[in-house]
């Protein structure tokens, strides 16, 4: 349990810090919804090679979030953890509060409006996203398996994503 909670807490803290740097609250389970609940047209969405993280281009922004598949996997682990009996009610209550907060933070996403993004390009095996005024945590600060998450996307998918970004920005 300790390893699961520690890993979940560390991972969620990255997304929490990213959300704290945002002007608006863009956390949502539905990648087709904006922070204000309105529908947003998804232009292109790609997942990294392990289907852990999605990079999404909308008509208004680019954002990164945990994939629905990864969230479901984590939810199943948390459900198993909640089902385990604790020695006392206080330990059980603390465990549930921690799990609830980690779940909430894992649903956050790092998001920048199209106007804030200077360029997106492929360079030496990774997607590079240059942002005008980066938040506390940016896309390239997110790691998976001790490596930059932007290095874990398939090159063809990344190039399609970049082409879609350039098209919507009129850079093509």
CA angle in degrees (0–180, nearest 5) for 7-9-10: 65
Asked if 33 and 122 touch (Cβ cutoff 8 Å), the reply is no
Sign, CA torsion 123/170/46/106:
positive
Q: Where are the domains of the chain?
A: 2-169
pLDDT of residue 172: 56
Tokens 């990774």 belong to 126
- Whose CA is closest to 112, among 21, 17, 4? 21
Sort strands 117-123 and 109-113 into parallel, antiparallel or unpaired: unpaired
pLDDT of residue 57: 96
Residue 57 host element (H or E): strand 53-58
- What is the secondary structure of 104-163 as a DSSP string? HHHT-EEEEEGGGEEEEEEETTEEEEEESS--SS-GGG-EETTEEGGGSS-HHHHHHHHH
DSSP state letter for 86: P
Crossing angle of the two packed helices 2-20 and 89-106, in degrees rounded to 10:
40
- The pLDDT tens digits of the residues spanning 6-45 come to 444 444 444 443 333 333 333 344 556 555 556 778 999 9
Q: Point out the residues of the chain with pLDDT beneath 70.
A: 1-38, 135-136, 172
pLDDT of residue 108: 79
Asked if 56 and 62 touch (Cβ cutoff 8 Å), the reply is yes
pLDDT of residue 19: 39
């Amino acid at each position: 349990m300790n390893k699961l909670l520690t890993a979940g807490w560390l991972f969620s803290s990255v997304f929490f810090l990213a959300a704290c740097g945002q002007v608006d609250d863009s956390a949502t389970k539905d990648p087709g919804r904006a922070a204000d609940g309105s529908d947003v047209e998804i232009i292109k969405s790609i997942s990294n090679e392990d289907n852990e993280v999605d990079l999404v281009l909308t008509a208004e922004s680019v954002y990164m979030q945990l994939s629905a598949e990864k969230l479901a996997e984590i939810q199943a682990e948390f459900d198993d953890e909640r089902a385990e009996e604790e020695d006392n009610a206080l330990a059980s209550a603390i465990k549930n509060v921690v799990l609830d907060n980690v779940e909430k933070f894992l649903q956050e996403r790092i998001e920048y409006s199209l106007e804030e993004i200077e360029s997106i390009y492929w360079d030496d095996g990774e997607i590079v996203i240059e942002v005008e005024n980066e938040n506390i945590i940016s896309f390239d600060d997110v790691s998976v398996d001790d490596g930059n998450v932007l290095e874990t996307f398939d090159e063809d998918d990344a190039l399609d994503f970049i082409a879609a970004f350039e098209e919507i920005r009129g850079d093509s």
